[in-house]
Amino acid sequence: MLFLLALLPLLGALAPALAIRFGRNACALAAGAVTLSALIVLGSMVPGVMRGEVFTASVPWIPALGLNASLFLDPLGLMFAGMILGIGLLIIIYARFYLAAADPMGRFFTYLLLFQGAMLGIVLSDNVLLLLIFWELTSLSSFLLIGFWRHSAEARQGARMALFVTGGGGLALIGGLLILGSIAGSYDLTVILQQKDVIQASPLYLPALLLILGGCFTKSAQFPFHFWLPHAMAAPTPVSAYLHSATMVKAGVFMLARLWPVLAGTDAWFLIVATTGLVTMVFAACVALFKDDLKGLLAYSTISHLGFLTMLFGIGTPMAALVGVFHIINHATFKAALFLNAGIVDHEAGTRDIKRLGGLFGLMPIAGTLALVAGLSMAGVPPLNGFISKEMMLYEAADTVWLGQAWVFPVLATLGATLSVAYSLRYIVHVYLGKRRDDYPKSPHDPGIGLWGPPAVLVALVIAIGLAPALVAGPLVNLVAGAVTNGAAEPEHLALWHGVTPALFMSAIAIALGAALLMGHRRLDRLWQGAGLPEAKAMFDASVRGAVRIARRGTDLLQNGSLQRGMAALIGTAVVVGFAGFLSAGYVPGERPGVPASPAAVVGWIALVAATAMVVLTHKARYISLIYIGIVGLIISLAFVHLSAPDLALTQISVEVVTILLMLLALNLLPKQTPVESRPWRKIRDGGVAVAAGLGVGGAAWAIMTRPLDSISGYFWENAYSGGGGTNVVNVILVDFRGFDTFGEIIVLGIAALGIFALLERVETGASGKRLAAWKPDTVRSPEHHPMMLVVATRLVLPLAVMVALYIFLRGHNQPGGGFIAGLVVAVAILMQYMASGFAFADQRLHADHHSMIGAGVLVAALTGLGSLAFGAPFLTSAFDYFSLPLIGEFELATAILFDIGVALTVIGAVMLALAQLSQVAERAEKEPQPETETAMDINPGRDDAAAATKADQ
């Protein structure tokens, strides 16, 4: 059930994207059905959680590391999941009527459900690595939602800013949680949360705490990371109501609550978390009071209330944690309602500027009533839910001592509450009360129930919790507080009246002073605007510009277009780091004896060194260098034969032939001589770096080979036949034991071929097209474009090569061979047809689409792997059995042969696609008029001999 709950929004995100074809109502209905289904699944588990049960689910993830994809649902997860899905359903209803006809609703709801699934993943994850994946997914999906209105530069910048800040904090959180898991000896939260003494006694506690708080503070917009949230208000109002009041920004608070049992209770926790929360609460409340944009005011009020929550969890007492849990619920109700109300005002009045509003209550009585109730709750006025949690917060603040000073927390908390009253009353009075205006951008009136219905539900909760807190919220709050504090929080009877306490007087003072601030707001606003206070956005933009300038200077220094400089910097750094490690560690020679070299090995080694040296010495002559490179490849193939690795030898030879032929084809259109580009001093530098790197790699290889080595080869030898059904260990490794590696390699090969296709597809256009049109051969070319002997030989060899490839393919599981080698053999045979008979001749007779062949190969390999999952085996697990037929006798069939077919198809398709594109480029170049002296060997003519002869006569 837990996996169904977590996956429903993620999988269901496709539903609105498909349903939009049937209309906007169908699209919203599909999105709502997904969320409602998840809510029903969650509701089925509510009774069990309320009884004290903890639901768990786990599937193997990386068994070799002991990691599982684990989920669990406890009261804290239940509360957050309920808010995510419940408010999410209301947002979907609201968005259906809020979004304009021009807005792509299918894309909006798809993004919204992706975000919803990511948030559910955070609150349900048991494994911290899985939690981190969902954490980053919230940053990515919120980026899409904030930047939903792509035409708006403000929305695009707000999305980038949010991604930059929250993404950077996410990186810090990754480090902190990994350290935490390392200390606890497990990456499961249910285990970590029982290791308080071990974690807090570790010297890594403080680094882990700082990193984790970095992730929490950036996500929950705590000072000084607060500035991204107001600029995220460029998103549509449903996004603001969902992400920035009830879900995303509370992810950081959720992490504080989730890790409270193991991180709270220390001086570092109190001083960092409580102080940050207190500063954020007061600072943001002060800024909110002077914001004229409705969503800007609500954004800073959200930051203030997030500071309120952070401060409570930072105090570190079980009672403060209980108050924090209670206020999470209260804030979600009144703040989401207010954001939706701001959207109604904008939608109906045509502006969110408070200075252009006023007197709307008579024109919009329903919206005004909802704003009045929600606003008074945010101000902490009885008998609403905001008053109860605010008074409980003041009670906790009154007993909190900060660095030996008993007045700091009570005074500043009261100040924050005062400012909260002031900006809340400003929202009510300056928007809905006062004199009715006659210059509204639109004619305001109450919208339909589709817009006021969702906030009305939230306002009803505001009233219900305020009037009957013990009945409506008490059981859940006490359960969640117990889960947060590991049972340390005593059950609290929530009530509207707690008697005459210091907190009551502090609350009364806050309400009175807040009303006074509102009365003097005009004068205070002039002072605020005239103060010229620095703006966080300007500071952020300046920091980004400065970082870009520094990065650009460094990039220009290292990457100025010179490949030599970039490679020298990269390899030189590796050499310095490697030798520094070598010299600091102290080298002890290995004692493993060497193996005497045979005369053949010595000769091969000398030839290899000589060929390599010739490549360096003759690199200016590209054609000659290519020949020496081929010799190097051939000698390496012989080395594989000498070392009893026939599979590798066959692969090396096949790859070498294909590579050399394709490079020859490319070289046909390039200058045959490399221009002199390096001065003598640079050659000395590059030579020194190359020699040092070569010595380093050679020394590392020698150090490894002269020491005892426990190889894993024994495992493969012992299990190749019993586990993979093949006696060719190399092939069994490729298609079974490490089939996933091979699968990734053929995907990379296909992508490389598609990259070549994309680069050469438009070669006739632009500057490259002009160069191609002006291209003239720079060597003497042969008059015989299609040598008869080569044409006849290749056409005779083709069927034989295909038969050999089929033989190599079929025997690959037990003898040297396999799909990769077979595919290369076929590719070489077809490539020779192109070379001998021309591109046009071969292309007309090769009835195969190279793109489809690559796709089919990857698809066949993938389906082979997925087939194993259907039988409960890991991905790409092969199966085999023996069968008997008359005349043929007994033979083996393995599912690995299907995987090998996919490998072969991908290899053939990739080589042919690269060949076809290079051939077409050469053919287009050949169509240009050539001088009479042109007699080069045309490796890809694409025209018949008669036409060539006619052209030569002309």
Cβ neighbors of 610 (< 8 A, separation 6 or more) are: none
Dump the DSSP string for 218-243: HHTT-TTSTTHHHHGGGS-HHHHHII
Quote the DSSP letter at residue 621.
B
Residue 462 pLDDT more than 70? yes
Residues 6+ apart with CB under 8 A from 668: 922, 936, 939, 940
Whether 496 and 383 have beta carbons less than 8 Å apart is answered as: yes
Radius of gyration, alpha carbons of the chain: 36
User: What are the tens digits of pLDDT across the range 22-57?
Assistant: 999 999 999 999 999 999 999 999 999 999 899 999
d(CA 275, CA 255): 17
Task: Tell me the two tokens of residue 530.
Answer: 């005239």
What is the tens place of the pLDDT at every residue in 149-164?
888 888 898 999 999 9
Question: What is the per-residue pLDDT for 269?
Answer: 95
At 456, phi and psi to the nearest 5? -65, -35
DSSP designation for 204: T
Structure tokens at 796: 């005779």
Tokens coding 483: 């889960």
> Is the predicted pLDDT of residue 285 greater than 90, yes or no?
yes
User: What pLDDT does 954 receive?
Assistant: 36
Whether cis (ω within 30° of 0) applies to the bond prior to 874 is no
pLDDT of residue 925: 62
Q: What local confidence, expressed as pLDDT, does residue 360 receive? A: 93
Looking at residue 570, its amino acid is L
Q: What is the rounded average pLDDT of the residues 939-944?
A: 39
Cβ neighbours of residue 507 closer than 8 Å, sequence gap 6 or more = 380, 387, 390, 391, 394, 417
621 token code pair: 């002559």
Q: In the numeric block, which tokens belong to residue 493?
A: 């009877």
Closest CA to 301 of 468, 428, 410, 162: 428
Q: State the amino acid at position 13 in one-letter form.
A: A
Half-sphere exposure at residue 467, Cβ-oriented, CA atoms within 13 angstroms: 7
Give yes or no for residue 934 having a pLDDT over 50.
Answer: no
Higher pLDDT, 168 or 929: 168
Cβ-count burial of 602 within 10 angstroms (0-12 exposed, 13-18 middle, 19+ buried)?
A: exposed
pLDDT for the residue numbered 951 = 38
Higher pLDDT, 673 or 229: 229
Distance of CA 545 to the CA centre of its chain: 25
pLDDT score of 316 more than 60:
yes
Q: What are phi and psi of 364, to 5 degrees?
A: -130, 70
C-alpha 641 chain-centroid distance:
44
Q: How far apart are CA 373 and CA 461, in angstroms?
A: 11
CA distance 272 to 64: 38
Strand partners, 617: none
The DSSP call for residue 55 is: E
* Contacts (Cβ under 8 Å, ≥6 apart) of 279: 223, 307
Q: When comparing pLDDT for 722 and 19, which is higher?
A: 19
473-520 pLDDT, tens digit per residue, is 889 999 999 999 988 888 888 888 878 888 899 999 999 999 999 999
pLDDT attached to residue 839: 73
**Residue 326 confidence class, pLDDT cut points 50, 70, 90:** very high
Does residue 952 register a pLDDT over 60?
no
Q: What is the pLDDT of residues 617-635, one digit of tens each?
A: 888 888 888 889 989 999 9
The pLDDT mean for the chain works out to 87
Q: How confident is the model at residue 930 (pLDDT cuts 50, 70, 90)?
A: very low
Distance CA 751, CA 731 (A): 23
**Mean pLDDT within 797-807:** 90
DSSP, collapsed to helix, strand or coil, labels residue 38 as helix
The residue among 341, 238, 334, 232 whose CA lies nearest residue 28 is 238
pLDDT in tens, 536-595: 778 888 888 898 899 888 888 777 777 777 788 888 888 888 888 888 877 788 888 888
Residues 6+ positions from 769 with CB-CB distance below 8 Å: 763
From CA 592, how far away is CA 256, in angstroms rounded? 55
Which of 662, 627, 629 has its CA nearest to residue 910? 662
Write out pLDDT tens, residues 217-227: 999 989 989 88
The Cα–Cα gap between 685 and 707 comes to 33
pLDDT grade for 944, boundaries at 50, 70 and 90: very low
Distances (CA, A) of 587 to 71, 198, 584, 697, 708: 48, 37, 9, 15, 16
CA distance 449 to 626: 76
Alpha carbon distance 778, 359 (integer Å): 84
